[in-house]
Structure 1
């Protein structure tokens, strides 16, 4: 495993496209989060906005780039034939997949932490000028606050789970365009279907099982009683999707030819 981890880290570190995509994910996440924090105002007491969630809005966009980067870590090797070299060096394919998952998770966690902290700093800077003040019930954003810390940590974990979900799908599908289409469809089409459905009960059920809607519930710090699913339970739903994707990818990787 140690050799496999070193090999996967070397491949990830020396593949320029992956690093550029993760950097782009950070930039887009912070840009959208800061823009949202700067644009939304709270003129009155109890304006109903979630002051912590606003600057973390950029996760909705950044996750797409993270997913693409994760898919390419597998599909890129299949496209170039490098996967044969990987399996020749480490014959146990599940070990290769485990090493890929571990290295990818650590890298995305580092990138996600940088993005989330930058978003919260932007929120701390912009929100008070837009009326999100203590007088309106919004203390300055601080990781010393339990709900804020949970939203921040949960957002990083959310990005890691999205990356691992994408890795599992890419391992099962192999082809980049198909894998990216499946992952982005799971993330963005579920919420669209939820809005199309008119039955409130079914809207709630779909929101409870949709990977993005359920997973991002971890960012909520207000109105928790009105959420379709609780913060940690929602992240658990995403973890279930991720585990299923990795299991499917692992089984197919083990059974079929490279």
Structure 2
């Protein structure tokens, strides 16, 4: 007669049932911080391996600094209204290249998003990273970081070149001008605000591209949005309408952050203007996120 061992029921390989149940249980999801790091790394890899990325980053710096240099180099104290003051906002003059540099920022953001739709790799991305909002957040964060780095280099170069050229043009203490310096509060605000401005332009452009999903259409929409308000404001003859357009346009309002002279008489304050641009960027991202969540890739 067989006598039981008293060890209780066992499964195939002698593993207790409880342990078997634990091993068969689905694995735990990767913690959110770890998943975000993985997503950020994936988006950075995609951005840096795009052939156009590094050319566009160089273009942001070169165009911004070069146009700023041409602008500051074209003015001198011979154009001053009085011997004591010229009335020029030399900080804003040195950062004039932002108007051109933002085009390279917009193209960078559009290509970073639309490239995946054009090649079909967006399907692979959404399979590897099922959380669509996480995909959007990771790409937006990487774009913002890359733009901030390029924008910082562009602004520093613009201020350095502007300082040199303005002194050569006679903008010295004799005419009421201190040399451009980031130690000066208004100058630092304009410089920092310009970097934020470029970051917001990148986010606005990315949001519109998620909405439209087409390279040509997105570029047309973004560039139209960036430049149509300033053009309209320059065409209208009514001062009130001109002021309103400058207050609500993403670029005309956002550029107010560069103003350091007669700030009180400007159509909109520096930080309020940047806030208007931030609302435009948030709105475009919200629309893009809605389409990303509701439509198939």
Q: TM-score, normalised by structure 2?
A: 0.86
Cα distance between partner residues in 2 of 1:110 and 1:71: 18
SS at match of 2:91: coil
1:33: which partner in 2? 68
1:220 CA drift (Å): 0.7
Question: Is the 1:42–1:49 Cα contact (8 Å) retained in structure 2?
Answer: no
1:160: which partner in 2? 199
Matched, 1:3 2:30: no
Cα deviations across residues 180-214 of structure 1 (Å, max 9, x unaligned)? 11111111111111122222111111110011110
1:143: which partner in 2? 182
Cα distance between partner residues in 2 of 1:63 and 1:86: 28
1:42 CA drift (Å): 2.2
SS at match of 1:121: helix
Cα deviations across residues 200-258 of structure 1 (Å, max 9, x unaligned)? 11111111001111000000110112210000000000000000000000011000000
SS at match of 1:91: coil
1:51: which partner in 2? 90
2:49: which partner in 1? 14
Tell me how large the CA RMSD over aligned residues is. 0.8
Q: TM-score, normalised by structure 1?
A: 0.98
Q: 2:133 aligns with which of 58, 76, 94?
A: 94
2:254: which partner in 1? 215
Cα distance between partner residues in 2 of 1:129 and 1:26: 23
Cα deviations across residues 9-55 of structure 1 (Å, max 9, x unaligned)? 11111112112111112111111011111111123322121011111
Aligned residues: 258
Q: 1:67 aligns with which of 89, 106, 117?
A: 106
Cα distance between partner residues in 2 of 1:45 and 1:60: 30
Gaps in structure 2 of 5+ consecutive residues: 1-35
Which structure's CA Rg is the greater one?
Answer: 2
Cα distance between partner residues in 2 of 1:180 and 1:39: 31
2:223: which partner in 1? 184
